[in-house]
């Protein structure tokens, strides 16, 4: 997760009239637990925040791994997960 904030004075020369609606105070990359919380805090403090996420949209209650058994994650993630868990 990365968070960038921009000072309006520094970015002022990039603002042309057609782009003013697409100007943000902060950009959060990733809406996982850290990115989502960072975006919430930035918005709560009055910053106009853009969140970028590359994953598919998942509606509440439609989590694809909800009913999976723990051993099924090995099939889903393969050797990369196995090497992390069982690293010596």
**Percent helix / strand / coil, the chain, rounded to 5:** 45, 15, 45
Q: What is d(CA 66, CA 70) in angstroms, rounded to the nearest whole number?
A: 10
The pair of three-digit structure tokens given for residue 64, joined into one six-digit string: 């694809």
Structural domain span for residue 31:
2-56+64-85
Per-residue pLDDT tens over the stretch 44-66: 999 999 999 888 877 877 877 88
State residue 8's pLDDT score: 52
pTM: 0.49
pLDDT at 87: 61
Question: What pLDDT shows up at residue 35?
Answer: 93
- How many independent structural domains does the chain possess? 1
Report d(CA 73, CA 84) in Å as an integer.
Answer: 13
Residue matched to tokens 């918005």: 43
């Amino acid at each position: 997760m990365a968070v960038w904030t921009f000072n309006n004075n520094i970015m002022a020369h990039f603002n042309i009239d057609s782009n003013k609606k697409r100007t943000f105070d902060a950009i959060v990359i990733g809406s996982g637990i850290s990115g989502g919380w960072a975006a919430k805090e930035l918005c709560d403090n009055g910053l106009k925040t853009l969140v970028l996420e590359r994953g598919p949209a998942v509606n509440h209650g439609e989590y694809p791994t909800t009913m999976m058994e723990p051993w099924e994650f090995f099939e889903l993630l393969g050797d990369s997960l196995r090497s992390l868990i069982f690293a010596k």
